Structure 1
Amino acid sequence: MVKKPKDDLTDADYEALSNLRYTLRRFMDFSASAAQEEGLPAQQHQALLAIRGHRGEDAMTIGLLAERLLIAPHSATELVGRLVTAGYVSRRTDPADKRRQTLELTEKAIDVLKRLTAIHLTEIREMAPQLIAILQGLQAGSEFEADPWSR
């Protein structure tokens, strides 16, 4: 992607970036509210989703979780401790490396995550046309509808 020199930034560039950030904030606000309705803080929901969505060859570990959530390993350890206490996650010592612990979701976590994922997918599918329009406008560097939420 070619970067524009500062002098070439247009009002449309600022507007597009503002609209993108607004759209992402709307989704994050929706997500936090939905998780809270299920009794989960947003970060715990994100952790459950990261564990469930992990497709790597190795099992999910605290270190991988920290990487996925962009938090420090000690913060991930504390987060996992809260999830274990709440009955959402179980930890097991990795047989290949006794220093590591692997993470698995409990049935309680699987149930709440199914409900949250279903409503999140509905919400993101409703937002998709606006988000796609914003991203296409940013990618093309072209003019596009000023307020994609006015439809």
Structure 2
Amino acid sequence: MTEGERLTKQDFQRLSHFRYQLRCFLRQSEDICREHGVTPLQYQLLLHLKGFERREWATVGELAERLQAKHHGTVALVDRCEESGLVVRRPGREDRRRIEVHLLAKGAELAERIAERHQPELRHLQEEFQLPGWPRLP
């Protein structure tokens, strides 16, 4: 859409539908997380650690970026996950000043169980967004 073009009713319908489906997914995810005894943010932290490219750990700064959160808030989240035995902090291998956050076995298992519960809704979203007017997903 170029500057000056007005949004159509269909544009608003598509955006409304997208936001609705996204909110349904997030609401269901919140319920799944609570059933497993963690907050949605704790699960997201575990998910990002398990899904981080080319390694099994991340720095607090990298996690803050993935969570779109402030650094100090991410530190507090890591603290809570560490207290629950889900993650552990370790000094960086190359730079000892840099702290790496690693998943522990309990955290990895929990992330896997919760992610499995999300699969039906993810398949539903993929089908939803392959409707006419939506770009095809890979």
- Return the TM-score normalized by structure 1: 0.82
Mapped pair 1:137 → 2:127:
no
**Cα deviations across residues 43-63 of structure 1 (Å, max 9, x unaligned)?**
000000001100146941111
**Cα deviations across residues 92-144 of structure 1 (Å, max 9, x unaligned)?**
001311211111111111111111111111221123211222xx5155xxxxx
Task: Say which SS state the counterpart of residue 104 (structure 1) adopts.
Answer: strand
Task: Say which SS state the counterpart of residue 129 (structure 2) adopts.
Answer: helix
Q: 1:58 to 1:118 in 2, by over 3 A?
A: closer
Structure-to-structure mapping, 1:41-120, within 5 angstroms: 41-56=39-54, 59-120=57-118
In structure 1, distance between residues paired with 2:57 and 2:127:
35
In structure 1, distance between residues paired with 2:101 and 2:85:
12
Count of residue pairs brought into register by the alignment: 136
**Cα deviations across residues 67-112 of structure 1 (Å, max 9, x unaligned)?**
1111111111111000000110011001311211111111111111
More helix by share: 1
Partner of 1:143: none
Which residues of structure 1 form unaligned runs of 5+? 140-151
CA RMSD after TM alignment: 1.9
Deviation at 1:41, TM superposition (A): 0.3
Q: 1:59 to 1:111 in 2, by over 3 A?
A: closer
Query: Following TM superposition, where does structure 1 have runs of at least 4 consecutive aligned residues deviating by more than 6 angstroms?
Result: none
- Return the TM-score normalized by structure 2: 0.89
Alignment identity in percent? 32
Greater RCO (CA < 8 Å, at least 6 residues apart): 1
Larger radius of gyration: 1
Paired residue type of 2:83: T
Does structure 1 retain, via aligned residues, the 8 Å contact 2:56–2:102?
no
Task: Say which SS state the counterpart of residue 76 (structure 2) adopts.
Answer: helix
Q: 1:58 to 1:122 in 2, by over 3 A?
A: closer
In structure 2, distance between residues paired with 1:58 and 1:109:
12
Paired residue type of 1:33: D
Does structure 1 retain, via aligned residues, the 8 Å contact 2:56–2:103?
no
